């Protein structure tokens, strides 16, 4: 079985400043991985590099998604191939309703795959069903994307996007920050509902409590742009107790 995501010795940065320094990570289909690590260790950068955000340059190493090199694919090709990123800070788009945004994204992906677009009625039905399952009010679909949404509402909305797009690999950056305990559970349930034998998930988080609800298969510690330790869910519990002190300064210049 080939890995869904296979990152080898990845070096990447912004404006010539290195941020990822030889990062390696492999996610098999069906697996949920968590990345924890101190502020500034490069977690969000990893998610941006994977999704192909402008300004992030790969200088060495490889990122294979389903056997294809991500570096050779434009951001939209990556989305069409089934890569989804939920941002740490979701974008606000005044003038575009949440519904329009979701529909445009989904249809662009379907078109890119050579499949039929979804008609308005089916789309509305699906969006309502998925948003209710996440405890969201229908009104949220009619509002402008993320404009005036509370922190928790934005995060739920990211999970809604993922539920609609059904990616092969979902990357969630700090989806737990700013969530109250009920919202945290709802989001975790949304993530758990998307677990599937052919889907992988990469959850970036600072909080062990999220991992009580989303049981990861593998937990990684990231420091100074590298994965410095990997283990099972018990690693997250250890980190909660001991902090990152022992890992700081651990990464070597690879």
Phi and psi at 166, nearest 5°, equal 45, 60
User: Is residue 39 at the binding interface for ligand ATP, with CB under 6 A as the rule?
Assistant: yes
Number of shown-chain residues binding ligand ATP (CB under 6 A):
12
User: Which C-beta is closer to ligand ATP: that of 42 or that of 200?
Assistant: 42
Nearer to Mg ion, 44 or 157 (CB): 44
Give the tokens for residue 59: 């200088």
- Candidate residues 4, 23, 41, 44; the one interacting with Mg ion per rule CB under 5 A: 44
Q: Does 42 bind ligand ATP (CB under 6 A)?
A: yes
Where does this chain touch ligand ATP (CB under 6 A) — which range of 33-41, 68-76, 92-100, 118-126?
33-41
Closer to ligand ATP by CB, 43 or 199: give it: 43
Q: Which is nearer to Mg ion, 7 or 109 (CB)?
A: 7
Q: Among Mg ion, ligand ATP, none, what does residue 39 contact (CB within 5–8 Å per kind)?
A: ligand ATP
To ligand ATP, the closest distance from the beta carbon of 46 in angstroms equals: 7
Binding mask 54-93 for ligand ATP (x = CB under 6 A): ----------------------------------x-----
41 binds ligand ATP (CB under 6 A): yes
Give the per-residue SS3 of the chain: CCCCEEEEEEEEEECCEEEEEEEEEEECCCCEEEEECCCCCCHHHHHHHHHCCCCEEEEEEEEEECCEEHHHCCHHHHHHCCEEEECCCCCCEEEEEHHHHHHHHHHHHHHHCCCCCCCHHHHHHHHHHHHHHCCCCCHHHHCEECCCCCHHHHHHHHHHHHHHHCCCEEEEECCCCCCCHHHHHHHHHHHHHCCCCCCEEEEECCCHHHHHHCCCCEEEEEECCEEEEEECCHHHHHHHHHCCHHHCCCCCCC
Say which entry of Mg ion, ligand ATP, none residue 26 contacts (CB below 5 to 8 A, set by partner kind): none
| Interface with ligand ATP (CB under 6 A) | 14, 17, 19, 37, 39-45, 88
| Interface with Mg ion (CB under 5 A) | 43-44, 88
């Amino acid at each position: 079985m080939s890995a869904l995501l296979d990152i080898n010795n990845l070096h990447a940065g912004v404006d010539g400043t290195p941020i990822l320094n030889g990062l390696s990570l492999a996610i098999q289909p069906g697996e949920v991985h968590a990345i924890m690590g101190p502020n500034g260790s490069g977690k969000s950068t990893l998610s941006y590099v994977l999704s192909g955000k402008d300004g992030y340059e790969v200088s060495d190493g490889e990122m294979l998604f389903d056997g294809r090199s991500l570096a050779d694919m434009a951001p939209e090709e990556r989305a069409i191939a089934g890569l989804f990123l939920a941002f740490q800070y979701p974008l606000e788009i005044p003038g575009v309703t949440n519904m329009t945004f979701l529909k445009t994204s989904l249809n662009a992906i379907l078109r890119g795959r050579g499949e039929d677009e979804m008609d308005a009625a089916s789309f509305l039905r699906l969006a309502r069903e998925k948003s209710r399952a996440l405890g969201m009010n229908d009104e949220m679909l009619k509002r402008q994307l993320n404009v005036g949404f509370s922190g928790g509402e934005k995060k739920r909305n990211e999970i809604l996007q993922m539920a609609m797009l059904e990616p092969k690999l979902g990357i969630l950056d700090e989806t737990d920050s700013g969530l109250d305990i009920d919202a945290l559970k709802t989001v975790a349930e949304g993530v758990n509902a998307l677990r599937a034998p052919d889907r992988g998930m990469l959850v970036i988080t600072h909080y062990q409590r999220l991992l009580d609800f989303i049981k990861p298969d593998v937990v990684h510690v990231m420091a100074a742009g590298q994965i410095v330790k990997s283990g099972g869910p018990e690693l997250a519990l250890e980190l909660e107790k001991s902090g990152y002190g022992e890992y700081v300064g651990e990464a070597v210049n690879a």
